[in-house]
Amino acid sequence: MSDDAAPWLIVGLGNPGAEYAGNRHNIGFMAVDLLAERMRGKFKAHKARAQVVEGRMGPPGPANRRVVLAKPMSFMNLSGGPVTALRDFYKVPVDRIVAVHDELDIDYPTLRLKLGGGDNGHNGLKSMTKSMGPEYHRVRCGIGRPPGRMQVADFVLKDFSSTERKELDWFVDRAADAVECLIAEGLERAQSAYNS
């Protein structure tokens, strides 16, 4: 079981650079950006090739947790390197790591939370799992499957459509809420509140 003094490491998965900012693949970045805003924190460069915000999350009292929000500054398929370096730097047990990421096999805008499991072809998860095993939490943000014959890579590297953007703020807000609930109240409570 986790050491109570250890922080939680919340990793938004995405690609760095302005040209990727609105992509479906970057919904993890969007969620941790919102969490940083809620914590009134500013991302700073970390030697682990990541941007980080350190702070506290949750209500006052025992459910208030020390957290590190992170955005790996490697590309998506190399996320495992920065995440492992942050894990080692902050001494975070793997079961206190949360990856927030896009998920093709879940319809937009649906959330699912789980602990462990496969990578489902997601290159960011594949890289993380290769570096430290699969036993970390996932907040899976459904983006659905590409229409027609569009390639998956093209679909995830496109911005959300104008129709999807109508719900995007709500969806990112809900993903951030789910992370806060997971950390303050545990996985089962967060699953019953947010898995749809």
**Which residues are catalytic, by number?**
25
Q: How many residues does the chain have?
A: 196
Neighbours of 103 (CB within 10 A): 21
The Cβ-side half-sphere exposure at 66, using a 13 Å CA radius, reads 8
Helix, coil or strand: residue 101: strand
Determine the longest span between alpha carbons in the chain, in angstroms.
51
Helix, coil or strand: residue 66: strand
